[in-house]
Amino acid sequence: MIEFRNVYAGYGGGDVLQGLDLKVEDGSITCIVGPNGAGKSTVLRVLSGLIHPRVGEVRLGGAAIHDKSPAAVLAAGIAQVPQHNALFGNLTVHDNMLLGGYILRRNRRAVRRRVDELAEIFPTVAERAHEKALNLSGGQRRIVEFARALMTGPSVLVLDEPTLGLDPKTCQAVFETTKKINSLGTTILMVEQNVRFGLKLASHGVVMERGRALLAEPADDLLRRPDMGAMFFGHGIEDPTAAPQIATASTDSSGA
């Protein structure tokens, strides 16, 4: 479990996080939503060791991580998928994957074995292995970015606004890839502007406002709250212009 306890943190001009308490259960997909400036991205920066809290603690599996460097946080098992365009376009998919592994390990054989494992899970990694990354479609690129972030074998994957600027088809690839990664045992913590997308994908939802967690509930319950859209986002969260339609096999067959 990841736990933020009474965290105050910011950028020098005052605290953005104002006594944040937050729990991310093992095995969950936890999505943080909230208005602009609520401090959502700051939570991720604190977690990844880019900012250290002025007050409070962040724990992973009971061990304090709030004073660690980004490299140490990665080594502890928390990996982040950059927002987008994170691949080296002129390198092949395979070489991009290798680079993801060399960050932590110099053992070439172990790194190659890990690429093979991930290529079994994500067919794109195998099928496009020798293609330059810049020749992939948006959805394929996202899949490779996610797969590469798994090269270090993290227990937690962090996604910062994974649908930002993406077309609906690529959003669908993000949706399915995230579900797959989670079903294989990786905990996901994400921040998402697209509230409907994020809460449909997540098992747990957290609503942040002014640097604190206002609500923390099962994501389905948050989605059903009639006051959510009006209270925090200025529009109904079922507004089709506010979110792409995400098709899931079990709940929705209307297509993306």
Contacts with ligand ATP by CB under 6 A lie at 11, 16, 34, 36-42, 193
Identity of the residue, 13 or 62, whose beta carbon is nearer to ligand ATP in the bound complex:
13
Nearest to residue 1, comparing CAs of 74, 54, 65? 65
Smallest distance from ligand ATP to CB 33, Å: 9
Identity of the residue, 50 or 134, whose beta carbon is nearer to ligand ATP in the bound complex:
50
Q: How far apart (Å, rounded) are the C-alpha atoms in residues 214 and 209?
A: 6
The two tokens of residue 201 are: 């994908």
Identity of the residue, 146 or 233, whose beta carbon is nearer to ligand ATP in the bound complex:
233
Bridge-based pairing state of the strands 156-160 and 55-60? unpaired
Smallest distance from ligand ATP to CB 12, Å: 7
Q: CA–CA distance from 195 to each of 9, 127, 226 (Å)?
A: 25, 33, 13
β-pair partners for 22: 4
Identity of the residue, 42 or 182, whose beta carbon is nearer to ligand ATP in the bound complex:
42
Smallest distance from ligand ATP to CB 90, Å: 30
Q: How far apart (Å, rounded) are the C-alpha atoms in residues 117 and 137?
A: 22
Smallest distance from ligand ATP to CB 35, Å: 7
Smallest distance from ligand ATP to CB 131, Å: 33
Q: How many CB atoms lie within 10 A of CB 25?
A: 12
Place of tokens 């972030």: 149
R_g (Cα) of the chain, nearest Å: 18
Smallest distance from ligand ATP to CB 233, Å: 11
| The amino acid at 158 | V
Identity of the residue, 32 or 147, whose beta carbon is nearer to ligand ATP in the bound complex:
32
Nearest to residue 204, comparing CAs of 22, 64, 4, 18? 22
Identity of the residue, 98 or 174, whose beta carbon is nearer to ligand ATP in the bound complex:
174
